[in-house]
Structure 1
Amino acid sequence: MQTVSRYFEDHRVGEDRRTTGRTITEADIVLHAGQTGDWFPHHVDAEWCATQPFGQRIAHGTLILSVAVGMTAGDINPVAFSYGYDRIRFVRPVHIGDTISVHAEIAELRPHAKRSDVGYVDEKVTVTNQRGEVVLALVHVYLVERHTPAAES
């Protein structure tokens, strides 16, 4: 990783990046259950899951969200900060052994309503499994410093 200052004005709608794959393991699920306290049988009880329509354990949606966001973390940008996540949708289940990959695309650049020194960068994030099926979709919102405050542009 390197440090790269990328200001609001440096971003362009349509810019995108793609990750390589990451296989979700039983260890991922057990660690996440331990960290969050979410021991629901959907995630950790193979015998119970075998009796359910999905037939096998499913990864926590929050696990897939966390892994996907981590997969898109690249260079350190000291002038941009994660502001949050909007419109998070767990579209399909992810099972042990599924391999996910992430496509992130700048969807919108928005001014801040009260501050001229920052703006919002909305990045549409789509997570797919090894079959190309969407399993998670969200918008990652960044608060990014402006190189030149908007009032001075």
Structure 2
Amino acid sequence: MLEQVTYFEDYAIGDGRHTTGRTITETDFVVHAGHSGDFFPHHLDAEFCKTLPFGQRIAHGTMVFTIGVGLTATVINPVAFSYGYDRLRFVKPVFIGDTIKSRVEITDKEVMEKRPGYGRVTERLTVTNQKDETALVADHIYMVEMRP
């Protein structure tokens, strides 16, 4: 991972980047179920899922979110901290064998009046599948130091 110091003033609305892809496997389903405790049949019971409209197991939304965010974690900015996520939506299901990738784009920035020396930067996360269909969207909010 690279380290890159980017202060609040350096962020520009519209800036963004794309990640490489990651193919989702059955192992991902099983490991995520074990970590999260979510053993719902929609994710793990292939026979049950044959009776549903999609006809196959559906990835945990929280897994798609976790992997999608993880794909973007390629640069360490020592003056920025995750402040949380807003407006998380599971738009389209992800299946075993799908390859997802992420893109992020700066959509908003504002000075944090209650935290002198910091600004808030909002980055829209969009996770897509191999057909470039949107599977997930969320707003990642950062608290970023202002230039000294």
1:4-153 matched pairs, under 5 angstroms: 4-148=4-148
Q: CA RMSD in A?
A: 0.8
Distance across 1 between alignment mates of 2:105 and 2:67? 17
| Structure 1 moving runs of 4+ over 4 Å | none
State the TM-score, normalizing by the size of structure 2: 0.97
- Residue 72 of structure 2 aligns with an amino acid whose one-letter code is T
Distance across 1 between alignment mates of 2:74 and 2:132? 23
Q: Per-residue displacement from partner, 1:35-91 (whole Å, max 9, x unpaired)?
A: 000000000000100111110001000000000100001111111011111100000
User: What's the secondary structure of 2:116's corresponding residue?
Assistant: coil
How far is 1:2 from its partner? 2.2
The gaps in structure 2 that reach 5 residues or longer are none
The gaps in structure 1 that reach 5 residues or longer are 149-153
How far is 1:116 from its partner? 2.0
Aligned residues: 148
State the TM-score, normalizing by the size of structure 1: 0.94
How far is 1:10 from its partner? 1.1
